[in-house]
Amino acid sequence: MRWIALALGLAAGGALAQDFTTLKGHGGPIMDLAVAPDGRVASASFDNSVGLWQGRVPRWLDGHDAAVTVVAWGQGDVLVSGGDDFALRLWSPAPRLLGRHQGKIAALDVSPDGRLVASGSWDGTIRLWPLDGSDPQRLPDPGAGVNAVTFDPDGLHLFAGTQDGVLWRYGLDGAEPLPLLRHGFGVNRIVAGPGWVAYGAVDGGTRVVDAEGTGLADFTLDRRPILSMAYHRGSGQLAVGDGQGYIMMVDTNSWRITRDFRATRQGPVWALAFSPDGTRIYAGGLDDVVYGWPVALLSRFDATMGQQRTFLRDADSMPNGERQFMRKCSICHALDAGPSRKAGPTLHGLFGRRAGTVAGYAYSDTLNRSPIIWGPKTIDALFDQGPDHYIPGSEMPMQVIAAQGDRDDLIAFLRSATRSE
């Protein structure tokens, strides 16, 4: 994935570079972004943490046991996050666990009055969590996993998008939910403005409807899937990010596309958020960096310019063993010694080390008790069988390398790259 990080200075000189922002420090891909009214950026990452950025200085909020998938701000300094550990956490004003779903939390929003948090999960449920500590409310199930939820600006309705392609409208007065439309492909993202709802879908559908489901505009292009959306009410800007690396900007006052910016050469735009004044758009994806572009200058840039930092280098430039590591291991594991913000422990000094023994890393109970000594045979078995079979109960994601030659090349690469002397 190749973000245009250095092209700004190459294209327009120092003044422009001062308007471009990078927030560096995460140990894994950026899954979601949210910006507070005072300009603080909250970033949700695959490294199990939330980054809270005042300028370029991060404060790390750790508490999730798996990737943090969504993050949202609300009035009164409310900051919440949800993750692959099924947990919903409140970070401010007073940190606590709000509760859990039975599946990945894929969507969050805070009501306009700051009193409720809405969460949607792949377990097929939508819940409302009062921040006064009273019991949560489970809304009528939408019939499929939930990818997106958002309150309307007045806080009277909650909209939800599901994996089976339905856009739902829930009245918060207890009325039966209304299916506004059936898109046919999963609805990944939704945002709501005054009198309208925009949604993006797996097939690239990017459409706007009114509160009754009547179509208002269609911005579907030949790019898929739609993975992120952000709306800035003050300027009327809608940003849409997709799996092919583009960020499309729409003027919601005139319903026209104003900019269409290729932010990456390859790879997804998973996260988008506007600065409080709407002059900057923050974006994240496979890189472990948050990028912020000045909106007014987006049309000057293209991801083919300059030399970009990349999370995944061109696969053709790597030996096969390194290529296998980058594809299967690099998101979670570092190769060098010392502390790392990645989701997994460093692999430095791997050969001959007993599983579960890197100091300072919080292993699962399974690995803490494991007798495994890492070496050619155990690494081969790990990727031949897959972690879920070789170490049942571990938190390692399912990864299989089917070809013996690929496993041999990976082992040879790791033997050299993780050597401690």
Instruction: Write the pLDDT tens digit of every residue in 343-385.
Output: 788 899 999 999 989 888 888 888 888 899 999 999 999 998 8
> Average model confidence (pLDDT) for the chain?
88
Report the alpha-carbon distance of residue 406 to residue 134 in Å, rounded.
54
258, 364: one domain: no
64, 140: one domain: yes
Whether 310 maps to a domain, the answer reads: no
Task: State the total domains in the chain.
Answer: 2
Whether 308 maps to a domain, the answer reads: no
366, 277: one domain: no
Whether 305 maps to a domain, the answer reads: no
Q: What percent of the chain has pLDDT over 70?
A: 91
369, 281: one domain: no
Q: Is the peptide bond before 93 cis (omega within 30 degrees of 0)?
A: yes
How many other CB atoms are there within 10 angstroms of residue 173's CB atom? Answer: 7
Q: What angle do CA 106, 111, 116 make, to 5 degrees?
A: 80
22, 145: one domain: yes
- What is the value of pTM for the model shown? 0.81
Whether 52 maps to a domain, the answer reads: yes
> In Å, how far from its chain's centre is CA 125?
20
Which domain-ending residue is among 300, 323, 355? 300
Q: What percent of the chain has pLDDT over 90?
A: 66
230, 143: one domain: yes
pLDDT score recorded for residue 421: 66
Read off the pLDDT band of 239 (50, 70, 90): very high
**Top-confidence range, 15-24, 125-134, 167-176, 315-324:** 125-134
pLDDT score recorded for residue 277: 96
CA-to-CA dists, residue 74 to 35, 113, 290, angstroms: 10, 8, 21
Mean pLDDT of the 24-40 span: 96
Which domain-ending residue is among 246, 272, 300? 300
In the chain the first and final C-alpha atoms are separated, in Å, by: 32
Mean pLDDT of the 234-239 span: 97
177, 212: one domain: yes
DSSP letters for 57-90: EEEEEE--SS-EEEEEEEGGGEEEEEETTSEEEE
Whether 103 maps to a domain, the answer reads: yes
CA-wise closest residue to 191 among 296, 312, 131, 273: 273
Whether 385 maps to a domain, the answer reads: yes
Q: Are 4 and 319 in contact (CB under 8 A)?
A: no
pLDDT score recorded for residue 377: 93
| pLDDT higher than 80, residue 122 | yes
105, 205: one domain: yes
Which domain-ending residue is among 250, 269, 300? 300
pLDDT score recorded for residue 264: 80
pLDDT score recorded for residue 314: 55
List the domain range (segments joined by +) for residue 79.
Answer: 7-300
Q: Are 185 and 173 in contact (CB under 8 A)?
A: no
193, 322: one domain: no
Q: Which CATH number belongs to the domain containing residue 242 in this structure?
A: 2.130.10.10
Whether 393 maps to a domain, the answer reads: yes
Report the alpha-carbon distance of residue 329 to residue 319 in Å, rounded.
15
Please compute, for residue 205, the number of CA atoms within 13 A of its CA located in the half-sphere on the CB side.
23
262, 363: one domain: no
Between 159 and 369, whose confidence is greater? 159
Strand partners, 143: none
182, 291: one domain: yes
Amino acid found at 208: V
Report the alpha-carbon distance of residue 170 to residue 94 in Å, rounded.
29
Q: Which CATH number belongs to the domain containing residue 379 in this structure?
A: 1.10.760.10
Q: Are 108 and 149 in contact (CB under 8 A)?
A: yes
Whether 309 maps to a domain, the answer reads: no
| pLDDT higher than 80, residue 261 | yes
**pLDDT tens per residue, range 299-320:** 665 544 333 433 345 556 789 8
293, 384: one domain: no
Tokens at 300, concatenated: 């000057």
Ranking 38-42, 255-259, 361-365 by mean pLDDT, the lowest is 361-365
